Amino acid sequence: MTVVCFYRVVRILLDVVPRRQHQFFENGRVDRCRVSDHLARDHLQHSERTREVNRRAPGNRWYVDETYVKVNGVWRYVYRVVDQFGQIIDVLVSPRRDAEAARRLFRRALSMLKVRPNKVVTDAPAIYPAVLAELIPSAWHHVEQYANNLIEADHSKLQQRLRPMRGLQIDRTAQVIIAGHAFIQNLRRGHYELGIDATPAVRVTAAFTELARAV
């Protein structure tokens, strides 16, 4: 999903925008909101193609937590799943913090991966036990104060990235951008078979070079 998403950002800025100025320009400047909306629509059309990219298998311990972002002035929950090695397994933007949102998150993650966790660490919300018993009954659900520090620390990287932005306008765009941030983080941490021969400092650049040839 996020692989094609970020390739499309590059394609839009370098190819589509110059050819379709009437759609992306306002007062002689690129309108980032219009580019983001186009990217969200383009992302939905191409999400299935990302399954061709070789993502390394995640670990067997998953840490699940929520953080918050404002979308058009309204707070939204951002569910995030990270394994013990720092790989961001999936993200989900939701207007509610309930069992249905948690169920969507785990179904998405499990549908994309061949590995199922044997341990899931969450904070205290009562929504998780029933969902985990339904979808991953073999996993041990661990709830303990401070046990989720790994993912809570990882939230700060997302917040630092979103803070300088002008704001998110719709949930769909928020989902694309936050998923894209997760992809870039995973690239830098070496969780994709992209740019594996490059040093960490230039791994993202090398990965996009490989991706541009493949997509």
Same domain, 131 and 195: no
| CA distances to 27, 112, 168 from 31, in Å | 9, 33, 13
Going by C-alpha positions, the residue among 194, 201, 196 that lies closest to residue 7 is: 194
Q: Which whole number is the average pLDDT over 71-96?
A: 92
Distance separating alpha carbons of residues 37 and 172, to the nearest angstrom: 8
- pLDDT for 35: 56
28 assigned to some structural domain: yes
Other CB atoms within 10 A of residue 189 CB:
15
Q: How far apart are the first and last CA of the chain?
A: 12
Same domain, 73 and 154: yes
Same domain, 98 and 132: yes
Number of domains comprising the chain: 2
- pLDDT for 188: 86
- pLDDT for 205: 85
Same domain, 124 and 45: no
Same domain, 154 and 206: no
Contact 154, 82 (CB under 8 A): yes
Distance separating alpha carbons of residues 157 and 122, to the nearest angstrom: 19
Distance separating alpha carbons of residues 173 and 93, to the nearest angstrom: 10
Same domain, 130 and 153: yes
Mind listing the pLDDT tens digit for each residue in 11-65?
Answer: 444 444 444 444 555 555 555 565 556 555 555 444 444 444 678 889 999 999 8
> Which CATH number does the domain housing residue 140 bear?
3.30.420.10
Same domain, 134 and 202: no
Contact 208, 9 (CB under 8 A): no
Domain boundaries, position 89? 61-158
